A and B are shown apart, each in its own frame.
Chain A
Amino acid sequence: MTESSSPGPVAPRLDRLGTPLALAGAAALAWAPFVVFKANRIASGDGRLFHAVLPAADSVGLTLILALVALVVIAARNARLRLIAALAGLAVVLAALAVAADRLTPAGDRIVRIAPGAGFWCLLIVLALLATDALARLRPSPAVRVLCLLGVAAVTYAVFAHGVFDNLSVMREYAVNASSFGREARQHVALALGSLGAAVAVGLPLGIVCHRVAKLRGVILQTLNLIQTIPSIALFGVLMVPLAALATACPPCAALGVSGIGAAPAAVALFLYALLPVVANTAVGLARVSPSVVEAARGMGLTDGQVLTRIELPLALPVIVTGVRIVLVQNIGLATIAALIGGGGFGTYVFQGVGQTAIDLVLLGAMPTIALAFSSAVVLDALVDAMQGDRS
């Protein structure tokens, strides 16, 4: 008989996040199609389950690894171990996708499309959530977070450069559009960063004015709020007439690329949407500087300009950079719609794909946009934390 009176080992506590995610992942693995097999790029295709697309031995082995991962994220409390498990799971799922694409594609065939299925996407999201959760539990310093991002970017680049996913539908679309991809990427970044730069150059002084001149504060912020409520398509329409008129009236402007459609109205619209976060955060950041600090600075003989540049702006900087972060992520997403009026960027693929009912082409535009937005959020969050860590 076992010694029922002595306290046995404590039952492992089930992780509140890991358990439901592991269950969801298991369900996706068992019942949702891992890849979709399509006879051509616009055919609707039929789903294939995980165990059906891999060689039997691989399928069993990889499933066992994923089961082990599930066990770790359900029971283990060590964040480092959980991170390793989630990353291992991601590697398994991505490798399985590459192998499945290679196996299902008949040799030399350029018509058949192998697209990631709902099961793959579910597993990807589950494992990515588990990895970010584990990373957050480790509380990495801002520098470590940026290094992690660089590491992930380097691995991603190496994998794609190596052609691991070349038989996947999205990469087939890439192969067709390879010549324009770099150009659209540059255009997308130029639209997002250019309008951000202009918004900071104009918004920072406007924010300072809002802080210093109480009467103008309401007017400026109300106007910018109003602009935010205009739908982007409507804003394009509103901008089309004056910009076209400007291009006609002023040939040098036209030579610089100003016109009723194309990149110019897109950049102006992004700039207008970007103003509110920059102006509002600058004003809020300045308002949060302790009045006694400003009083002491003035009392010691700093001029108004010195109070602004040496005391108020440095102290408001974390809040201002938070505004820049909001704008950058928002702009990277919004720049997609520039393609609607011929402004270029990744949106070009999204709208072409929608037009051709080719979901793979939509993904070719959407995935780099998401990666770009996510990366800039990580970098700027790290920057804000690094600045605030200095004085807490």
Chain B
Amino acid sequence: MIQVESLTKQYGASTVVDAVSMTVERGTMTVIVGTSGSGKSTLLRMINRLVEPTRGRVLIDGQDTASTPGYLLRRHIGYAIQGHGLFPHRSVADNIATVPRLLGWDAKRVRARVEELLRIFQLDPAEYADKLPAQLSGGQQQRVGVARALAAEPKVLLMDEPFGALDPIIRGKAQDDLREIQRRFGTTVVLVTHDMDEAFRLGDRVAVMSQGKLLQCGRPAELLTRPADPFVSRLTGTADRSLKLLSLTTAGEAAEPGSAEGPGVSAGASLRDVLAELVWRGATAAPVVRADGTPAGRLTLERVLARGRAI
């Protein structure tokens, strides 16, 4: 768990981060979103003390981060950035092994961990371990960057626009992979982005920042239905907010008992996709089917529409 307590950063007369307090629960993903200059990156960099706070403090699992020297603290917090920052003169394996070696792991354990991570990130160790970063594609470099951040099994992972340099198709895949890996390791993730869609797609909770202040921190649906500030609704966009809300719920979650005519919709599909499918078919209901083919109830048009209504 990360507790941020009235954290402030001032450079001269300008306040970049202004008394921000928030709590990130263990094993969840919190996305900090805001326009450029909103202070979101500075807030993130104060958590691992790349930037020293002017006032306030950060507790990780109850321990004040100021009680450890900055570089020792950072060895236990994963850090991944836009453009990955891989060391161009070191092989992929050496890049991933950076923090484990700093922590003094023995060579055998380091090698085993590097191979495990390469497999998790779908990179064949035999083919990729000895390559230099310049020999990889952009998507592969990004995966190695995240693998390197996770190498020493940190409980907390900080990410600053990690997908900013990727094209849209690879970005979607990278976001899904991150979600899966975060659930698998139970890592607490704080991710900074300027992309609201990315925030909604990834965040268990989304924190909106503007001009150094934290405007609202809550579940994505809360931001849509109960925006705390006009800026939040501007950032989330009001024109298609009902559809955004629908996209946050899956068919399986919203299904009711019963059956319906016609081909089934997948339980993992979002209600937004189910609505589009029903409109396309001209149908008023569809059965919901799980990935293994077993029925999971049905969804009526009325039930879908009710989910997109402001509560």
Q: Are A299 and B134 in contact (CB under 8 A)?
A: no
Q: Are A300 and B87 in contact (CB under 8 A)?
A: no
Is residue B298 contacting chain A, with contact meaning CB distance below 8 A?
A: no
Q: Which chain B residues numbered 80 to 107 have a C-beta less than 8 Å away from chain A? A: 81-89, 98-99, 102
Cross-interface CB contact of B85 among A296, A315, A390, A391, cutoff 8 Å? A296
Is residue B48 contacting chain A, with contact meaning CB distance below 8 A?
A: yes
Question: Contact mask A195-220 → B, CB, 8 Å, 1/0?
Answer: 00000000000000000000000000
Q: Which residue of A lies closest to B158 (CB)?
A: A299
Q: How many positions in chain B have a CB within 8 Å of any CB in the partner chain?
A: 27
Interface segment among B52-60, B71-79, B193-201, B218-226: the answer is: B71-79
Q: Are B86 and A296 in contact (CB under 8 A)?
A: yes
Q: Would you give the shortest CB distance from B270 to chain A, in whole angstroms?
A: 34
Complex contacts, B98 vs chain A, CB 8 Å: 297, 300, 302
Is residue A158 contacting chain B, with contact meaning CB distance below 8 A?
A: no
Q: Would you give the shortest CB distance from B282 to chain A, in whole angstroms?
A: 52
Q: Are A295 and B81 in contact (CB under 8 A)?
A: yes
Q: Are A301 and B88 in contact (CB under 8 A)?
A: no
Q: Which chain A residues numbered 253 to 298 have a C-beta less than 8 Å away from chain B? A: 290, 292-298
Complex contacts, A300 vs chain B, CB 8 Å: 74-75, 79, 98-99, 102, 148-149
Question: Contact mask A286-330 → B, CB, 8 Å, 1/0?
Answer: 000010111111111111001000010011000000000000000
Looking at A300, A314, A391, the one whose CB has the most chain B CB atoms below 10 A away is A300
Complex contacts, A391 vs chain B, CB 8 Å: 88-89, 132, 134
Given contacts A301-B71, A303-B71, contact A293 B88 (CB under 8 A): yes
Q: Are A315 and B89 in contact (CB under 8 A)?
A: yes
Q: Are B85 and A292 in contact (CB under 8 A)?
A: yes
Q: How many positions in chain A have a CB within 8 Å of any CB in the partner chain?
A: 20
Q: Would you give the shortest CB distance from B168 to chain A, in whole angstroms?
A: 22
Q: Are A314 and B89 in contact (CB under 8 A)?
A: yes
Q: How far is the CA of A292 from the CA of B148 in the complex (A)?
A: 14
Is residue B50 contacting chain A, with contact meaning CB distance below 8 A?
A: yes
Q: How far is the CA of A391 from the CA of B83 in the complex (A)?
A: 18
Complex contacts, B50 vs chain A, CB 8 Å: 295, 298-299
Complex contacts, B88 vs chain A, CB 8 Å: 290, 293, 315, 391
Cross-interface CB contact of A299 among B74, B82, B86, B87, cutoff 8 Å? B74
Q: How far is the CA of A299 from the CA of B134 in the complex (A)?
A: 21
Complex contacts, A294 vs chain B, CB 8 Å: 85
Is residue A392 contacting chain B, with contact meaning CB distance below 8 A?
A: yes
Given contacts A296-B86, A315-B89, A391-B89, contact A301 B102 (CB under 8 A): yes
Give the number of A-B contacts (CB < 8 Å): 68
Q: How far is the CA of A296 from the CA of B87 in the complex (A)?
A: 9
Complex contacts, B149 vs chain A, CB 8 Å: 300
Complex contacts, B102 vs chain A, CB 8 Å: 300-302, 306
Complex contacts, A295 vs chain B, CB 8 Å: 50, 81, 85
Q: Are B81 and A296 in contact (CB under 8 A)?
A: yes
Complex contacts, B86 vs chain A, CB 8 Å: 293, 296
Q: How far is the CA of A391 from the CA of B94 in the complex (A)?
A: 14
Q: Which residue of A lies closest to B83 (CB)?
A: A292
Q: Are B87 and A297 in contact (CB under 8 A)?
A: yes
Q: Which residue of A lies closest to B72 (CB)?
A: A301
Q: Would you give the shortest CB distance from A155 to chain B, in whole angstroms?
A: 37
Q: Are B84 and A292 in contact (CB under 8 A)?
A: yes
Q: Are A296 and B84 in contact (CB under 8 A)?
A: yes
Q: How far is the CA of A311 from the CA of B95 in the complex (A)?
A: 11
Q: How far is the CA of A341 from the CA of B266 in the complex (A)?
A: 92
Complex contacts, B84 vs chain A, CB 8 Å: 292, 296
Looking at B83, B84, B132, the one whose CB has the most chain A CB atoms below 10 A away is B83
**Listed A/B pairs (21) with beta-carbon separation below 8 Å:** A292-B81, A292-B82, A292-B84, A293-B87, A294-B85, A296-B81, A296-B85, A297-B85, A297-B87, A297-B98, A298-B50, A299-B50, A299-B79, A299-B158, A300-B99, A301-B102, A302-B98, A390-B89, A391-B88, A391-B132, A391-B134
Given A299-B79, A299-B158, 16 further pairs, Cβ under 8 A = A290-B83, A290-B85, A292-B81, A292-B84, A293-B85, A293-B86, A295-B50, A295-B85, A296-B85, A296-B86, A300-B98, A300-B149, A301-B75, A302-B71, A390-B132, A391-B89
